[in-house]
Structure 1
Amino acid sequence: MDPVSETFTIDLRRLGVLRELQRRGSLARTAEALHLTPSAVSQQLAALAREAGVPLIERQGRGVRLTGQARLLLQHADLIAAQLERARADLLEFRQGRRGAVTIGAFGSGILGLLPATVRSLAEDRPELRISVIEAEPPDAFTALDGGRFDLVVAVDFAAAPPHTDARYTRFDLLTDVLDLALPAGHPAAAREEVTLRQLASEPWIVGDPSSCCGAVTRSVCAAAGFTPEIRHQVNDWQALAALVEAGAGVALVPRLVQPLRRPGVVLRRPADARPARTVFAAVRAGSEDDPVLAGVVERLRVIAAKAERAGGDL
């Protein structure tokens, strides 16, 4: 074979025989070290020479010596062997869930309430694990999961999410995220210990886009309470929503996952006539749950979610 051929390839096991010959200095000692016959060693070296397209050994008295091309090839062999050792170590770390790459698609408040602590925790004890987070909601998040763009999705149960029975996914429930009423501090209802949704039926509401999980949940919760909210402002950004509530522009339902964003001009009350909540879950492609890297990320997510749920408590 011509060494400059585009199809140039060599057998790494035969390359190992050449490396051993360099170390041992003779065919007999090489054969003994590799538990082969001298004839088998010669055959391996001849085959390697054909693959490389260059002579690798030449006769010297009763023995052999390496050609200049063989010594050049061996310089690369040492690099290849070192890289293979690194690959083996990486695969071992992957098997232990310590090395790899995971792309997570998650809804906005899930990113805010769960992902920073998860990413930080994984970075501390698995620094070789690369986590990427992309904001996305169903159904687009699951389309990306199906196509391999995402490895894991963090989502909320609502109409756009796949049903529990969808065999394409393995699902892990993370937490029940309670929603509270957010009122301007100067609102008359803010001074009450108990506030019902019905008492706010005539108020202007600040609600997310209807295609978003929280926008959909707010609409359904108000409908269950017997009214259709007057949606004065439609925003998906929680900072913007909190700022509008603080400015007296309306009232809103806010999940506890985002309540680290609390503002001094916003008062939170648990609705007395309802227990609005949403189920947050993680999902992976069915069968991939046994991947050690993915399993490690899911387990860390569950730990962080349990802490977040405990920290939420009751108002």
Structure 2
Amino acid sequence: MLDVRRLRLLRELAHRGTIAAVAEALSFSPSAVSQQLGVLEREAGLPLLERTGRRVRLTPAGENLVRHAEAVLERLEQADADLAEARGGLSGALRIGAFPTATRTIVPAALVALARRHPGLEPMVCETDPAAVAHALRAGDLDVALVHAYDFVPAEREPGLTTEPLYGEAMYLAEPARGASAAAGAPGAPGPSEAPGAEAGPPPDQGAALRAHAASPWITATPGTLCHTMTVRACQAAGFTPRVRHRMDDFGAVLALVAAGQGVAVVPQLGATVPADPAVRLTRLVMQRRTGLAFRSGAGAHPAVAAFGAALRAAVPPDLAGSRAEA
């Protein structure tokens, strides 16, 4: 009989690529991971790994076993969900991953509703970049997480995970204002749920709007994040590579630098819902950011995951909830 704990190690190796990465993620020593995978090979009765120096890759039999492991682990998540439902009354920790703009604008209201309905549940929020969510969920470090995708950075399918769409956001080009017309409250300005200080009317030619700043300094998120990749790819699609001056992940700080004349940036709608600054002009672009709720496949029916999802959907502003494109 194959051991499910060793199957999990093999699955992690398939996704992380190295034994060292698996060991670090699951708090094992590399030698312990290698030993357990060796035991799994003996249980399987044929080679599952090919070793070339320090590199390891799965054999066809190993890749096929990983597919079975995904199905087994999904059924175990379903069994856990069924047991939680049978016990009744939610309690214990719920580990939630969320990115900063959602944590600041939507998650607090969801947690208030969750505490009111399920006082025994202990939600624990950890700021997690969507690029790191898949590994954290599969390793069991998170139970549920908010993820996002952009038009220029589509979400890749992650084996073993399920993502449900939540909402979509408009994207804005943030640049230093040239006059008082960008001030909040100007005639025709969007409502409070829209980005303050944004120009009214239909989105302009996105390529032309970005190309107008081909020679400008840019402010992006830190490399390795989806937000950084989005800005670079959007500019490249417009025909140039941005000259990045500042790198930071807090959109409030990004807008402060724009107001100080330090560069231009692309920001999402929730990232722009800070006190309006007349020194910043926000021009709506055609592109969009889509946010979804991710969890391990089979865990969607778990009462705690379902309760958090319901509270989160109720907390989404109506103008965002109306756009539920697949994340």
- Structure 1 length normalisation: TM-score? 0.61
Equivalent in 277, 282, 299 of residue 268 of structure 1: 282
Partner of 1:156: 148
Alpha-carbon shift at residue 250 of structure 1 (Å)? 1.0
Partners of 2:85 and 2:303 within 8 A in 1: no
AA aligned opposite 2:156: P
Q: Which amino acid aligns with 2:218?
A: W
Contact map agreement 1:184 1:190 (CA 8 A) in 2: no
Alignment of structure 1 residues 79-90 onto 2, 5 Å? none
Structure 1 residues 179 and 161: CA distance shift in structure 2, 3 A: closer
Contact 2:168 2:321 in 1 (8 A): no
Of structures 1 and 2, the one with the larger relative CO (CA 8 A, separation 6+) is 2
Residue ranges of structure 1 left out of the alignment (5+ in a row): 1-90
Does the 8 Å contact 1:138/1:160 carry over to 2? no
Tell me how large the CA RMSD over aligned residues is.
Answer: 3.0
- Number of aligned residue pairs: 217
The equivalent position to 1:295 in structure 2, one of 306, 309, 322, is: 306
Check if 1:123 corresponds to 2:115. yes
| In structure 1, distance between residues paired with 2:253 and 2:321 | 26
Deviation at 1:311, TM superposition (A): 9.0
Is the partner of 1:163 in helix, strand or coil? coil
Partners of 2:148 and 2:155 within 8 A in 1: no
Residue 220 of structure 1, CA deviation:
1.3
How big is the shift at 1:177?
Answer: 2.0
Give the match for residue 114 of structure 1. Answer: 106
Q: CA deviation at 1:110?
A: 2.5
- Partners of 2:103 and 2:175 lie apart in 1 by 24
| Maintained 8 Å contact 2:153/2:229 | no
The answer to whether 1:176 aligns with 2:129 is no
SS at match of 1:228: coil
Relative distance call for 1:243 and 1:236 in structure 2 (3 A) is same
CA contact (8 A) 2:131 2:225 kept: no
For 1:230 and 1:187, locate their aligned partners in 2 and report how far apart those are by CA, in whole Å.
Answer: 25
Q: 1:278 maps to which residue?
A: 289
Range that drifts further, 142-151 or 152-161? 152-161
Q: CA deviation at 1:162?
A: 6.3
Q: In the alignment, what sits opposite 2:66? A: none
Structure 1 segment 9-158 matched on structure 2, within 5 A: 95=88, 98-157=90-149
What displacement does 1:287 show? 1.0
Rounded to whole Å, the distance in 2 between the matches of 1:134 and 1:161 is 24
For residue 261 of structure 1, give the secondary structure of its aligned residue in structure 2.
Answer: coil
Q: 1:219 aligns with which of 232, 253, 264?
A: 232
Query: 2:215 is matched with which residue?
Result: 202
Distance in 1 (CA, whole Å) between partners of 2:180 and 2:263 is: 13
Could you state the TM-score of these two structures normalised by the residue count of structure 2? 0.59
**Mapped partners of 1:306, 1:172: distance in 2:** 17
Cα deviation, residue 241, structure 1: 0.8
Q: Report if the CA contact (8 A) 2:167-2:322 is conserved.
A: no
Residue 249 (structure 1) shift? 0.8
Identity of aligned residues (%): 32
Q: Deviations over 1:1-56 (max 9, x none)?
A: xxxxxxxxxxxxxxxxxxxxxxxxxxxxxxxxxxxxxxxxxxxxxxxxxxxxxxxx
| Aligned partner (choices 266, 269, 277) of residue 256 of structure 1 | 269
Distance in 2 of aligned mates of 1:212 and 1:220: 13
How far is 1:144 from its partner? 1.6
Tell whether the 8 Å contact from 1:94 to 1:100 is kept in structure 2 after alignment.
Answer: no
**Partner residue, 2:7:** none
Letter in 2 for 1:123: A
> Helix, strand or coil for the counterpart of 2:110?
helix
Distance 2:276 2:217 in 1: 19
Residues 113 and 308 of structure 1 are in contact (CA less than 8 Å); yes or no, is this contact kept in structure 2? no
Query: Conserved in 2, the CA contact under 8 Å of 1:122 and 1:300?
Result: yes
CA contact (8 A) 2:166 2:321 kept: no
Describe the shift of the 1:261–1:306 C-alpha distance in structure 2 as closer, same or farther (beyond 3 A).
Answer: closer
Contact 1:181/1:251 (CA < 8 Å) preserved in 2?
yes
Q: Do the aligned residues in 1 keep the contact of 2:161 with 2:297 (CA within 8 Å)?
A: yes
5+ unaligned residues in a row in structure 2: which ranges?
Answer: 1-83, 184-198
1:65-99 Cα distance to aligned partner (Å, 9 max, x none): xxxxxxxxxxxxxxxxxxxxxxxxxx789635x43
